[in-house]
Structure 1
Amino acid sequence: MRHKAREAGNFDPSEVELLGRVFDQLKMDFRTEERDALASRIIANYMAGIKDETELLSVSKQPLGR
């Protein structure tokens, strides 16, 4: 897991807060075993340029590539 985090890059505290808020809002919609994939999807969408919290919530509900 640490290796994946290094690959993702470094985030400043405000970015970590944003990513955490999005994850917290979505995690109850996913089974426990799906939550790692959800976290990865949120980070991938953020790194792809989706910086708006509402938009990040919307697109992160869907699997990558859709």
Structure 2
Amino acid sequence: MPIRQKLEEAGVFKPAEIEMLVRVFAATCPKFENVCDREQRAARIIAQYQAGVRDEAELTELARKPLGH
């Protein structure tokens, strides 16, 4: 799963944070998504979390929006 790999590579997240971000990633997975789009979605979720969005529901809502909205 791309998001778990990105989180582990960053090495700055606690296990509970990783689990929450993985849940957001899994909850926002569209039916058909290519590898590039999946990696971009993972990177956006991580960036939003690092920017201060800590609420799981808010992260999920933001991750479901198309880029630029």
Q: Structure 1 length as normaliser, TM-score?
A: 0.76
1:1-66 pair list within 5 angstroms? 5-6=9-10, 10-29=12-31, 31-33=33-35, 34-62=37-65, 63=67, 65-66=68-69
Give ranges in structure 2 of 5+ residues lacking alignment. Answer: none
Give ranges in structure 1 of 5+ residues lacking alignment. Answer: none
More helix by share: 1
Q: How large is the Cα RMSD of the aligned pairs?
A: 2.1
Take 2:13 and 2:61, find their aligned partners in 1: how far apart are those partners?
Answer: 21
> Relative contact order (C-alpha < 8 Å, sep 6+): which is higher?
2
Take 2:22 and 2:41, find their aligned partners in 1: how far apart are those partners?
Answer: 12
Q: Which runs of 4+ in 1 moved over 3 A?
A: none
Take 1:38 and 1:29, find their aligned partners in 2: how far apart are those partners?
Answer: 14
Take 1:30 and 1:10, find their aligned partners in 2: how far apart are those partners?
Answer: 30
Take 2:29 and 2:22, find their aligned partners in 1: how far apart are those partners?
Answer: 10
Aligned pair count reads: 61
Q: Give the % identical residues.
A: 39
Distance 1:32 1:55, change over 3 A: same
